C-alpha cells in the first residue's frame, strides 16, 4: 500500500476525512501522541487498525470526538461527575471510560461493555473528526510494543506502507498518552496516568480519586520496594525479566532505569556508561532535570526513538520522582520501556 503523506491544510484534512469515511486508516497528530484512526463505527476498519499495529485485539481503543454532543452516540448516561470532568478538561488529555451503547462495535471496545472516550486538544485532530463526521477510534500510531510516536517522522518510520495516509503536523505538545480514568465504578479510578493527575481530577470533582492497583504495583515504590508493603506482584509479573507481559514502549536497545539519590544516580550512570563502553557497547543516556516533569513527558518517547536510530546498545535512564503526579506518569512509561530493569543506588 502506498501511504499518502498529507499536511494540516484544509484540503488535506478533507482528503484524510474521506479516507476515514470510506473505511481507511489515517494517522493524525493530537496533543498527546500521534493516533492511528479509523471510523469507530466501522468494525472492519477498526479491525485493520489492530492489524496495522500488530496490536492484540483485546486491547480496546480510545474513541475521539470533536464535540461533547457526540457522546450521545457512544454512551447511554452521563453522571454529574462526568459532566464536571468534561467542563474542566475537554478538549484535553483526559480519557474517560464510560458505559457503552450497544451500537458501538465490540471490535472498538475489545469486547468490553464500556467505551473509552476523549476530545483531543489539537486543531488538526478536531478538524479531521468534524470533517469525517464520525467518532474516530485511535490507538497510538506505532507498531505495538514500541515507543509511542510524538513526531510525524516517527509515525512514518512505523506506518509507511501499512496505512492509507499520515497527516504530518507539529510535534505533540504533551508527549505521553492521555490519562485514562474509569468513571463506571463507585470511585473514579485512574487506569493510566498522564499529565492530568489524580490531584487535578480530585480538585475538579471535590472527591477522592484512586489509582488502579496494578498501576501502583507496577510503580517504582510498588513492586520494587519491599518496604512499601505493596510488594506483591500481579499474576505473571516478573520484574527484571525481559519480554514479559508488561513490557511496552520498548526501545530496540536494552534499557536500565537507575533510581536513588540524584548524585548517586548521576555517578552510577557515568560508571555504567564507562564500563559498558570499555566493553565495546554504544551507550545512550536519558537524564532529565530533577523537577522537569512536563519536559520529561514531552521528550521521553522521542529520546527513545532517537537513541534507537543512533543504534545504541544500552540506554541508561535516570528515574524521576514519582511522588509528583506527572513524574508518576513518566515513570510508568520509563519502567515499562525498561521491562522493569531497575538498578537502585
Q: For the CB of residue 312, give the shortest distance to ligand AMP in the complex, in Å.
A: 25
Q: Return the range that interacts with Mg ion (CB under 5 A); candidates 12-20, 70-78, 134-142, 204-212.
A: 134-142
Cβ(207)–Cβ(227) under 8 Å? no
Grid look-up 463526521 returns: 133
β pairing state of 283-286 and 94-99 = unpaired
Question: Does residue number 179 form part of the binding site for Mg ion (CB under 5 A)?
Answer: no
Cβ(175)–Cβ(300) under 8 Å? yes
C-alpha 17/C-alpha 7 separation (Å) is: 13
Question: Does residue number 140 form part of the binding site for Mg ion (CB under 5 A)?
Answer: yes
Backbone angles phi, psi at 182, to 5 degrees: -85, 115
Interface residue with ligand AMP, options 65, 82, 96, 115 (CB under 6 A): 115
Binding-site partner at residue 192 among ligand AMP, Mg ion, none, CB < 5 to 8 Å by type? ligand AMP
Q: For the CB of residue 138, give the shortest distance to ligand AMP in the complex, in Å.
A: 7
Interface residue with ligand AMP, options 151, 192, 298, 333 (CB under 6 A): 192
In the shown chain, the binding pattern of residues 126 to 155 toward ligand AMP, with x for contact by CB under 6 A and - for none, equals -------------xx---------------
H or E element that contains 295:
helix 293-309
Interface residue with ligand AMP, options 59, 79, 264, 309 (CB under 6 A): 59
Q: Where are the beta strands (DSSP E) in the chain?
A: 4-6, 26-28, 35-39, 62-64, 94-99, 114-118, 136-137, 165-167, 179-182, 189-192, 210-211, 254-259, 283-286, 314-318, 342-344
Question: Does residue number 109 form part of the binding site for ligand AMP (CB under 6 A)?
Answer: yes
Give the interface with ligand AMP as residue ranges (CB under 6 A).
59-62, 97, 109, 112, 114-116, 139-140, 177, 180, 191-192
Amino acid at each position: 500500500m502506498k501511504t499518502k503523506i498529507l499536511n494540516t491544510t484544509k484540503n488535506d484534512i478533507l482528503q484524510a476525512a474521506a479516507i476515514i469515511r470510506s473505511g481507511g486508516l489515517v494517522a493524525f497528530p493530537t496533543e498527546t501522541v500521534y493516533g492511528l484512526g479509523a471510523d469507530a463505527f466501522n468494525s472492519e476498519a477498526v479491525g485493520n487498525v489492530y492489524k496495522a499495529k500488530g496490536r492484540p485485539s483485546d486491547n480496546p481503543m480510545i474513541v475521539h470526538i470533536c464535540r461533547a454532543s457526540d457522546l450521545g452516540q457512544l454512551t447511554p448516561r452521563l453522571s454529574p461527575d462526568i459532566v464536571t470532568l468534561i467542563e474542566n478538561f475537554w478538549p484535553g488529555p483526559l480519557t474517560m471510560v464510560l458505559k457503552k451503547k450497544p451500537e458501538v462495535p465490540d471490535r472498538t471496545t475489545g469486547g468490553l461493555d464500556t467505551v473509552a472516550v476523549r476530545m483531543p486538544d489539537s486543531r488538526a485532530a478536531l478538524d479531521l473528526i468534524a470533517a469525517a463526521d464520525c467518532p474516530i477510534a485511535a490507538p497510538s500510531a506505532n507498531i505495538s510494543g514500541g515507543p509511542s510516536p510524538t513526531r510525524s517522522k516517527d509515525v512514518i518510520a512505523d506506518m509507511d506502507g501499512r496505512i492509507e495516509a499520515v497527516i504530518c503536523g507539529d510535534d505533540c505538545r504533551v508527549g505521553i498518552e492521555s490519562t485514562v480514568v474509569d468513571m463506571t465504578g463507585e470511585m473514579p479510578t485512574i487506569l493510566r496516568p498522564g499529565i492530568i493527575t489524580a490531584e487535578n481530577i480530585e480538585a475538579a470533582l471535590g472527591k477522592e480519586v484512586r489509582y488502579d492497583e496494578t498501576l501502583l504495583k507496577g510503580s517504582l515504590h510498588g513492586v520494587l520496594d519491599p518496604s512499601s508493603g505493596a510488594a506483591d506482584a500481579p499474576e505473571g509479573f516478573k520484574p527484571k525479566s525481559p519480554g514479559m507481559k508488561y513490557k511496552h514502549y520498548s526501545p530496540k536497545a536494552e534499557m536500565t532505569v537507575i533510581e536513588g539519590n540524584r548524585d548517586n544516580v548521576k555517578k552510577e550512570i557515568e560508571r555504567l556508561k564507562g564500563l559498558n563502553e570499555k566493553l565495546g557497547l554504544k551507550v545512550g543516556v536519558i537524564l532529565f532535570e530533577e523537577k522537569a516533569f512536563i519536559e520529561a513527558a514531552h521528550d521521553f518517547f522521542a529520546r527513545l526513538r532517537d537513541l534507537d536510530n543512533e543504534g545504541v546498545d544500552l540506554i541508561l535512564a535516570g528515574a524521576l520522582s514519582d511522588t509528583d503526579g506527572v513524574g508518576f506518569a513518566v515513570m510508568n512509561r520509563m519502567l515499562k520501556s525498561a521491562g522493569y530493569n531497575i538498578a537502585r543506588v
